[in-house]
Amino acid sequence: MKTPMKQRRDMSPLIATQKISRLARKDIDRRLAVCPSLPSLSSINKALQGLLQAEQRYSSHISEIVRRDPSLTSRLLRLVNSVYYGLSTPVSSIEEAVFYLGVRQIRQLTTVTPIIEDFQRLSRQCVFPWRQFWQHCIGTAILTREVITMAQTPVDESDYVAGLVHDVGKIIMAWSFPDHFSEIHRQAELGQRNLVEIENEILGIDHAELGALYLERHRLPELMVHAVRFHHRPEAAVDHQLIIASVQIADLLMRNAKIGHSGNYVEVTQEQCLQASGWGILFPNMHEADQAIARASFNRSLERLPHILEGLV
């Protein structure tokens, strides 16, 4: 999809009129320091702790929690009605939605809603296919869970949140460096070069490193920082490799299926998903027959995803 990029008028009037030049790290740090902290970032920690609470306890309070938040309520009803679009009478009560979706999906929804809304406010300034971008992020979160489940049983929801925020650097880039961001995406749209390469060339830093620096600055858990920094090269991560590898594979699967839009226009083939470093980390020595089973399972999830995403963003 080709979306014309427009530059933000109120930012950086100096560089808007002259050639955009690559920035030194100290200039990048200086602008990053004024990028606002978002309330939902601190709630990620809280949410993660909250998610570990006994399912039963949460389940009894869930309708009450959802009811207090009108935006969550409407998102939830939209989600259940688009996932179960065949229902003769659309779902209109929270209790019914909880029944259809199950506690886990609602728990995930309560985590993602404030994060998405916060970041949407931040990104509004730059013209970019943000709605498709969020579909890419949420889809990657859902698939990260599916991918990691094939390798081990997840202990909490941190894999899901890691998948959700993996491309946060793109939002930070749009806010902090709108002119660079516009130029980067003008070039990315040509579909000839990888986004990371273009970002490094034009801005002097890529979205993975920028996102990690931002999360570090706002004291997010180390896992989130590492997942963002290494999501394109999990082999370089020292800790949390399985989760980061799952994010890489989920991201590639989303791009291969062309669901949502990551801002990277270079196409990804099925073979590239299987040959990615993360696949080897997750499934070393996997036989061909098992690879086919895994791929079929991911394909089934990918088929369901557009309905889910339609209801969420």
Furthest C-alpha separation in the chain: 59
Closest CA relative to residue 164, chosen from 88, 220, 99 = 220
Among residues 108, 182, 187, 262, the one that binds Fe ion under rule CB under 5 A? 262
Considering the complex, state which of residue 107 and residue 170 has its C-beta at the smaller distance from Fe ion: 170
Q: Can you tell me whether residue 156 is helix, strand or coil? A: coil
110 binds Fe ion, rule: CB under 5 A = no
Own/partner contacts of 11-16, CB < 8 Å, gap of 24 or more, are 11/125, 11/178, 11/179, 12/177, 12/178, 12/179, 15/179, 16/179
Considering the complex, state which of residue 80 and residue 167 has its C-beta at the smaller distance from Fe ion: 167
157 binds Fe ion, rule: CB under 5 A = no
**Minimum separation from the CB atom of position 230 to Fe ion (A):** 10
Cα 215 off chain centre by: 14
Sign of the CA dihedral running 263, 265, 269, 271 = negative
**Minimum separation from the CB atom of position 89 to Fe ion (A):** 37
Cβ neighbours around 36 below 10 Å, total = 10
Considering the complex, state which of residue 28 and residue 164 has its C-beta at the smaller distance from Fe ion: 164
251 binds Fe ion, rule: CB under 5 A = yes
Considering the complex, state which of residue 91 and residue 143 has its C-beta at the smaller distance from Fe ion: 143
- Eight-class DSSP state of 263: S
**Interface stretch with Fe ion, choices 69-77, 163-171, 173-181, 276-284 (CB under 5 A):** 163-171
Considering the complex, state which of residue 183 and residue 251 has its C-beta at the smaller distance from Fe ion: 251
**Minimum separation from the CB atom of position 112 to Fe ion (A):** 15
**Minimum separation from the CB atom of position 235 to Fe ion (A):** 16
Report the alpha-carbon angle 148-254-274, nearest 5.
60
| Number of chain residues interacting with Fe ion (CB under 5 A) | 3
Considering the complex, state which of residue 58 and residue 160 has its C-beta at the smaller distance from Fe ion: 160
Cβ neighbours around 202 below 10 Å, total = 22
Cα 44 off chain centre by: 14
Sign of the CA dihedral running 158, 238, 265, 130 = positive
Residues 6+ apart with CB under 8 A from 74: none
Distance in angstroms (rounded) separating the CA atoms of residues 142 and 301: 9
Considering the complex, state which of residue 209 and residue 251 has its C-beta at the smaller distance from Fe ion: 251
Residue with tokens 């997010």: 220
Residues 165-184, interacting with Fe ion (CB under 5 A): 167
**Minimum separation from the CB atom of position 73 to Fe ion (A):** 29
**Interface stretch with Fe ion, choices 99-107, 245-253, 293-301, 302-310 (CB under 5 A):** 245-253
Closest CA relative to residue 280, chosen from 247, 242, 254 = 242
Considering the complex, state which of residue 83 and residue 173 has its C-beta at the smaller distance from Fe ion: 173
**Minimum separation from the CB atom of position 208 to Fe ion (A):** 6
**Minimum separation from the CB atom of position 191 to Fe ion (A):** 16
**Minimum separation from the CB atom of position 206 to Fe ion (A):** 8
Contacting positions for Fe ion (CB under 5 A):
167, 251, 262
